[in-house]
Amino acid sequence: MELISIEDVRAAADDIAGTVVRTPLLPVPWDDELWVKPESLQPVGSFKLRGATHAVARLDPAVRSRGVVTHSSGNHGQALAHAARAAGVPCTVVVPEGAPQVKVDRIRALGAEVRFVPPARRLPEAERVAAETGATLVPPFDDPRIIAGQGTIGLEVLADLPDVDVVLVPVGGGGLSSGIATAVKALRPSAAVIGVEPLLAADARDSLATGAVVVWDVERTYRTSADGLRTNLSELTLAHLRERLDGIVTVTEEEITAAMGRLVREARLVVEPSAAVAVAARLFHRDELPSGRTVAVVTGGNVDPAVLASLAG
């Protein structure tokens, strides 16, 4: 299977320049060797804008004019809706039942049509919409353009901290970790890229252990509060992670909540559960990680206001 290259990531960086925010690296007050990359500062509140913008930019104009469709628990849907609106084309987002309302509301506010389905039907429904309307399916992670777009985070991390030793990346479908690992391992091979996922949705851990995609059903993955990390890997993302990821760590729900609270109160960042897993790994599993200058990718801030309020005290 053909993997993306550092040249693909650099091309994506050119495509998204001026549209996607170049987020800073922020030191945290409790750890002298930890920086966070706050992708919550993107216009749609998550890193997903990178891949979606790059994917839409790469479509032939005639194809793009027929619109785009995707399936998403929220963040990729918002990102694609934003990119489609900027391009002046229609967008449909198939959303699994139970997705956070705050994310659904924002998808609609960006002008996309929202269709609800049971979680197991999200991809088939998106494929049906594409077949019926002629829209292009832009997957959340299982696409080289998406992976390359997300990999631009790795370029920025190395530009701001060239001597980074460890990069901690949340893993859901694997597009983000595949892209970042591609960039980091190409430009700083000595740095370790470690994936982090919830213990209650540890399919990537199992997939890497067995060498084949292991699918956890929705009854298992929907136990975690980290809704953005409930998705299984694809053959494409597993191929990237087997080649380029240095390891994977799992974190508990209690650790995720504690990390969210730390980021909210001490780093003064708005974060959702999925975004806190990398920091949770550093806080609670430091003995499982390589030592040295560490960057934790904070992937998004699209959190239910009630959840956020519960952390602020």
Q: Sign (positive/negative) of CA torsion 262, 263, 267, 269?
A: negative
The length of the chain is 313
The catalytic residue among 40, 46, 72, 73 is 73
- 308's tokens: 């956020």
Sheet with 113-117: strands ordered across: 113-117, 91-96, 68-71, 136-137
Would residue 40 show up in a list of annotated catalytic residues for this protein? no
CA 10/CA 67 separation, integer angstroms: 26
CA 255/CA 268 separation, integer angstroms: 18
The catalytic residue among 48, 103, 178, 225 is 48
Find the Cα–Cα–Cα–Cα dihedral 208, 210, 212, 213, rounded to 10°.
Answer: -60
CA 257/CA 176 separation, integer angstroms: 22
Backbone angles phi, psi at 116, to 5 degrees: -90, 140
Which runs of consecutive H residues, i.e. helices, occur in the chain?
6-16, 48-57, 61-64, 75-87, 101-109, 122-133, 144-160, 175-187, 203-210, 218-221, 235-244, 253-265, 277-284, 305-311
Would residue 274 show up in a list of annotated catalytic residues for this protein? no
Q: What angle do CA 126, 307, 256 make, to 5 degrees?
A: 85
Of the candidates 297, 281, 295, the residue with the CA atom closest to the CA atom of residue 249 = 281
The residues carrying an active-site annotation are 48, 73
